[in-house]
Amino acid sequence: MTESQRAVAAVSGSPVDADGFRQALAVHAAGVVIITAQTDGIPTGLTATSFSSVSLDPPLVSFYVDRSSTTWPAMRSADHFAVNVLASDQADLAVRFARKDVDRFAEPTRWRPGPLGAPLLKDVSAHLICLPHDTVDVGDHILVVGLVADARVHSPGRPLIYHQGRFGRFFAYP
């Protein structure tokens, strides 16, 4: 038993079970982004809810990518990536960029190449263009940290939210 396994056993008496872990995390509502990049002229992208701000100075953001992702190997060799923050009417796009059996950038996906080449999706709430800053292997995921080179807000008021396996909208208190 490792030191951390001993610590876990001291708290709960047993290792946390996978279902309980997933259910607890599903209660945490998250915004939805699509990370895009371009490698050798080919666009790549995947849906993520693990996006987060990290630092204001320097301006850093992060996301976690599954080690088993088939998109990440191409994405990691790109010299920059874009974060497309989805709007509440873009759940279909979020689903599309998590599917393996479609060309994610074919119709009806609407996008244009950004100033450095990474695809920018149309009608998103905001997008950020990031330079690779750091990657860290963490468990079965890779933490990817990006230095923000450009940030543009298009429509701040209607984010897409993911909660308990469903997409929804955000309602602010009056």
Ligand X SMILES: Cc1cc2nc3c(=O)[nH]c(=O)nc-3n(C[C@H](O)[C@H](O)[C@H](O)COP(=O)(O)O)c2cc1C
Give the footprint of ligand X on this chain (CB under 6 A): 32, 46-50, 63-66, 69-71, 94, 97-98, 100, 162
Closest separation between CB of residue 57 and ligand X, Å? 25
Residue among 97 and 111 whose Cβ is closer to ligand X: 97
Residue among 1 and 18 whose Cβ is closer to ligand X: 18
What's the sign of the alpha-carbon dihedral 154, 104, 89, 60?
A: negative
Closest separation between CB of residue 49 and ligand X, Å? 4
Residue among 48 and 82 whose Cβ is closer to ligand X: 48
Q: 169 φ, ψ to 5°? A: -115, 170
Are 81 and 37 within 8 A, CB to CB?
yes
Q: How far is CA 68 from CA 1, 42, 64, 94, 154, in A?
A: 27, 20, 12, 19, 33
Closest separation between CB of residue 76 and ligand X, Å? 12
